[in-house]
Structure 1
């Protein structure tokens, strides 16, 4: 799986982001383009410690998330229409240009942390290594960019 910490991959992601416009339509799912742009910022902000999730999960869910964790960064693409975690749902109306700019900024901020060794714990999945964070963030963005045809 590619990593958002790789400069060429970062450039590819930013180029794909540029291909999106206000008229971009989803090939699956219910989000519109501005909601997708807003949604994609959340996991990056959690990874860099800018956003905290109010997630309290029980023992059984912890086990489930532990089993699911490797799918966050392995080479297998996510299925179309997988459910969005409640904390990351973007259901409002957002300004396309503002959200696109903010996503670009948080991608660049995250990508600049390629030498970071101490990361906040994810409230669902626990600790990630730098390599795992880079792959997981790329995989998430790739999933949604494919959703919108770029």
Structure 2
């Protein structure tokens, strides 16, 4: 799996973000591109401890499913329900201004990478304690 801490991977992701427009069509799911930008930012904010999320993972989530999702398979499109703190219809951060929201995502990615070099992240709400490498792959 790709790791956002890798500069080549990160450059590809940042390029994709730069090319996003409000008119971009979703690839799957129900969020608009503006909502997805905020959703991705919220996930990074949870990792950094800037946004809280309830812990509801069980033993299976924190072991086998975590390993599979991070190292083997991507979550199947449209099959996984997101946690309420990331759900745009519930507690997710709502879009405000598309360009500002994009810039916030870029900034939070850089902050995430810096933290991975010098510190640790909070526990994932479903997968529990994760290494910086695991967070980098999941991000």
TM bracket (short chain) = 0.7 to 0.9
Within 2, Cα distance between the matches of 1:52 and 1:111? 19
Q: CA deviation at 1:84?
A: 1.5
Runs of 4+ in 1 over 6 A off after TM superposition: none
Q: Which runs of 5+ in 2 are unaligned?
A: none
SS of the aligned residue for 1:77 comes to coil
**Of the candidates 64, 81, 84, which is equivalent to residue 82 of structure 2?**
84
How far the C-alpha of 1:27 sits from its partner, in A, is 2.5
In the other structure, the counterpart of 1:98 is: 100
CA pair 72-44 structure 1, distance change in 2 beyond 3 A: farther
1:112 aligns with 2:110: no
1:56/1:134 CA distance change after superposition, 3 Å: closer
Task: Kindly indicate whether structure 1 or structure 2 has the higher relative contact order, using CA contacts under 8 Å at least 6 residues apart.
Answer: 1
Structure 1 unmatched runs, 5+: 138-150
1:68 has 2:65 as partner = yes
Which residues in structure 2 correspond to 1:18-37 (within 5 Å)?
Answer: 18-37=18-37
Query: Cα RMSD between the aligned structures?
Result: 1.8
- Please tell me whether residue 8 in structure 1 is matched to residue 22 in structure 2: no
Secondary structure of 2:58 counterpart: helix
Q: TM-score, normalised by structure 2?
A: 0.84
